[in-house]
Amino acid sequence: MPNPVYKNITISGLPGSGSTTLLNQLREELKFDGWTGFSGGEFMREYAQEKGLLDQDGKLHHSANAYSEEFDREVDMGMRERLATEENWILESWLSGFMAQGVPGVFKILMVCSNTAVKVDRIVNRDTVTPERALENMNHRYQTNLKKWRRMYKDEWHKWVIDTGKATQSDAIDFWRSSLYDIVIDTYSTNQTESLELVLHAITQKKASHERS
């Protein structure tokens, strides 16, 4: 495929949305063009295993409260710095798309799954836990992480989102707001192959438009 006009790509999505699957597909598809994929979730899971921060069975990840705000900011702002200064990165994490706001040349993908049962089933298969535990952990992590990150990044939200017209003062802080992304893919109605094709098509269409201008 033609090289994308974008310097870097981010993939954001909550657990069970298919973001890691898309990362692995893009890693394979673009590896011969010099692209490298990095999963924030994989990094945090390795860190959690090393520090004993997983649940008692060593399967489910704790919420962001298990990490200090300084650690979170270091990881998140490190992603932003990489997106601003390096090329050919595919960065996947809950907040990678938000961290890319205002950074030129980044294609921002949001993965969602509109069916909760499907999301839970994916987590069950990945972590080998019961559906009840998967749902409880998923909801707890979302609420806890959102509360922490809203507190941590309220200034960035105002600067990167409100001041740029992507949201208004009255809108709640929502790091997965569709207006922050270049493409939104619902993996309940779009399978893995179709999701990859949507992204590759969007990238090549942008490049073709860029070359004609």
For the chain of 213 residues, list the mean pLDDT of each consecutive stretch of 10: 76 93 94 89 65 53 66 87 94 95 96 94 88 88 93 97 96 97 96 95 66 46
For residue 208, the model assigns a pLDDT of 47
For residue 41, the model assigns a pLDDT of 72
pTM comes to 0.86
CA dihedral sign of residues 52, 46, 141, 148: positive
For residue 59, the model assigns a pLDDT of 47
Structural domains in the chain, CATH included, are: 8-192 (3.40.50.300)
